[in-house]
Amino acid sequence: MLDDDHPMTAETISAPPRAPRRPLFRRRSAIPGFGLTLGVTLTILSLIVLIPLSAVAIKAFSQSPAQFLAAAFSERAVAAYRLTFGAAFVAAVINGVFGVLTTWALVRYQFPGKAVVNALVDLPFALPTAVAGIALATLYAPNGWVGQYLTPLGIKAAYNPVGVTIALIFIGLPFVVRTLEPVMRDLSEDVEEAAASLGAGRFATIARIILPALGPAWLTGFALAFARGVGEYGSVIFIAGNMPYKSEIAPLLIIIQLEQFEYANAAGIALVMLGVSFLMLLVINAIQAWSRRFV
């Protein structure tokens, strides 16, 4: 369309539109680029995680399907799976309950000896697992400091599945507490005071405000405690009793198969544990991602 201010001429018709100027120097980030970081990440994960797990799978499937099923799903192996995953789940649930209470006390209150209690929470991180197992067996054995009072009551805490659960509770509690602690510190007390000013009681405040805010972090701590419990070995074998079909955990059964030079059978049991653990962690992460939508 022609007008007086911008008359259409031959030069304007024939001249192509100018391309936008590009900067002479591309702005660089202070940290390495995406390609470098992704390459380093994939390399490390491949060397540490992917290749070893692939080797386990290759070794497990080096035998025939019938041999794999016979070794990985034998009656003894199924009993070991049941105890390992069942005790890890129960311990993670108990740690989830008492982990919230412990974190609440450490974050919200000041009391004498708080620094000592805070350090004791991290003790399972630094303590060798064998030392933890010996200490727990000494405490909860029938003639131990605690077990001698439980035995007359008909409670046998050591050398049975109860002892396995106790050991997994001991090593799993720090995962829940340390995962919840930063989230609970960020949860301002003003929110609780606002709920109280609107007429909400203590239980309503906990159920509708505090617990939903802690939900994703709680699931993360639960998953970490469960995963650690499934793979725990050192602190369990001293207090479990290690009786086949009763108090034998799956990691111990793998060690027994390796000592008998049954490498393919050990890899088959390890592959089943890997698959179940991955599936449960996948479900927990999916629930955690879903719960974030409502926080």
CA distances from 194 to 70, 172, 185, 213, 215 (A): 61, 34, 17, 15, 20
CB-CB contact of 156 with 243 (8 Å)? no
- Closest to 228 in 3D by CA, of 176, 269, 186: 176
Q: Give per-residue pLDDT as tens, 221-257.
A: 898 899 889 888 888 988 888 888 888 999 999 999 9
Q: Give per-residue pLDDT as tens, 88-133.
A: 999 999 999 999 999 988 988 888 888 898 889 988 888 888 888 8
Amino acid at 174: P
- Sketch the domain layout of the chain as residue ranges: 62-292
For residue 142, what pLDDT is reported? 86
Q: 292 vs 53, which has greater pLDDT?
A: 53
Instruction: Check whether 156 has a pLDDT greater than 70.
Output: yes
Distance CA(88)–CA(250), nearest Å, equals 12
CB-CB contact of 210 with 180 (8 Å)? no
Instruction: Check whether 176 has a pLDDT greater than 70.
Output: yes
CA distances from 125 to 24, 122, 181, 274 (A): 53, 5, 16, 23
Rounded to 10°, the helix 161-186/75-108 angle is: 40
For residue 177, what pLDDT is reported? 92
Q: How many CA atoms lie within 13 A of 178 on its CB side?
A: 15
Domain 62-292: assigned CATH number: 1.10.3720.10
List Cβ neighbours of 75 (8 Å cut-off, separation of 6 or more): 245
Would you place residue 16 in the very low, low, confident or very high pLDDT band (cuts 50, 70, 90)?
low
For residue 204, what pLDDT is reported? 73
